[in-house]
Structure 1
Amino acid sequence: MASLNQAEFENKQLDINSLPRFTEVEFYPLDTKYLIKLNILSGIGALIVVGALIVGYFLMKEYKILILWSAILFLPLFLWLIYRNFELQKRNGYAIRERDIIFKRGFLHEKITIVPFNRVQHVSARKDLLDKFLGISSLTIFSAGGSASDVTISGLLARNAEVLKEAISKRVSSNE
């Protein structure tokens, strides 16, 4: 192996102000049907909890007061969950650029993931039963950085997920 001559090696510092800003990108929102899905799932969870509280109330008479307090405390938790769903719908989004895809999610703790196309290994679109009913899909982008850098964008219209999958696949194959 040939040694690298010190005169040939350069590692210049970049001006941080000249770097592109991902925050200036216009994010596409997730489809509003995703909010419906989140609220349906929250409602199902709430029905399970309320059902368990009702059964417990009638079967465990010595704990009636505890069960009543649990029911009272559950209401603000459920309302928080519905509020969270609306905020997630409002704040989550994605953007696709020439060399990467960006996914923004969360509202209390916002997380932004940027996946360069040259790190993408494959892309998959999937639908669960509720997604099929609502006409939405999830797009998962698997990257070479491991599972921590994989991105799943839920709440895309099914046709948009397929278009994105195709566009990303073409970009990935043109980078190889």
Structure 2
Amino acid sequence: MTSNQAEFENKQLDINSLPRFTEVEFYRLDHKYLIKLNIRTGIGALVILGALIVGYFLMIEFKILILWSAILFLPIFLWLFYRNFELQKRNGYALRERDIIFKRGFLHEKITIVPFNRVQHVSARKDLLDKFLGISSLAIFSAGGSASDITISGLLSRNAEALKEAISKRVSSNG
């Protein structure tokens, strides 16, 4: 047996002593994010409603089908508006000493934890609606992928920049 093999240890950890990410206080997304989600849902609803109205008057042989589609249309979009509210209420993020946590989802909750020593870069971005509402999205990229590991939408622009700066400092101090 070599000296390296003699020094190797792999002790079992006590699960009860591990830190619990569920005990972390998550920061909620800004209420303007709910406005953005509802605007997008509303635009989609108007487009579909417009198509149903045009179809009703142009396709006479399908009037009953179009009427049933309109009847089904209402509860679906009411559900989407409710979902938007729940997403804004439940999504959140937390910054810890060594990682960032992002919690998202309503019916299916997903929690992603990215350690700072795995982060390659961070970017803040805004689409047209974000600029109008004064919010931003923060994308955090880690090693090994071209897509972001975490995209936190619905941050006030100043908070997105502050988070970007804080994460960048932690990443550079780890590297």
2:100 matches 1:106: no
Q: Deviations over 1:118-166 (max 9, x none)?
A: 0000000000000000000000000114257710000000000000000
State the match for 1:44 in structure 2. Answer: 43
**Counterpart position of 2:94:** 95
Shift of 1:61: 0.4
Runs of 4+ in 1 over 3 A off after TM superposition: none
TM-score by length of 1: 0.96
8 Å CA contact 1:113–1:149 kept in 2: the answer is no
- Label 1:4 to 1:79 Cα distance change in 2 as closer, same or farther (>3 A): farther
- The answer on whether the counterparts of 2:139 and 2:148 sit within 8 Å (CA) in structure 1 is no
Amino acid of the residue matched to residue 10 of structure 1?
Answer: E
Matched residue, 2:138: 139
Matches within 5 A, 1:13-162: 13-146=12-145, 150-162=149-161
Alpha-carbon distance between aligned partners in 1 of 2:148 and 2:121, rounded to the nearest angstrom: 13
CA distance in 1, matches of 2:74, 2:153: 27
2:162 maps to 163
In structure 2, the CA distance between the partners of 1:110 and 1:148, relative to structure 1 (3 Å rule), is: farther
TM-superposed deviation, 1:8: 1.1
TM-score after normalising by structure 2: 0.97
Is 1:126–1:137's contact at 8 Å kept on the other side of the alignment?
yes
Per the TM alignment, residue 5 of structure 1 is displaced from its structure 2 partner at its CA by: 3.1
| AA of the residue aligned to 2:94 | A
Give the Cα–Cα distance (whole angstroms) in 2 for the partners of residues 148 and 25 of structure 1. Answer: 26
Gaps of 5+ in 1: none
Cα–Cα, structure 1 residues 72 and 4, in superposed 2: closer, same or farther, change >3 Å?
farther
Letter of the structure 1 residue corresponding to residue 7 of structure 2: E
Tell me how far 1:167 sits from its aligned partner: 0.3
Q: Which runs of 5+ in 2 are unaligned?
A: none
1: distance between equivalents of 2:5 and 2:135? 56
In structure 2, what is the Cα distance between the partners aligned to 1:102 and 1:141?
11
Opposite residue 118 of structure 1, the aligned amino acid is: N
The range that moved more, 8-17 or 93-102, is: 8-17
Identity %: 89
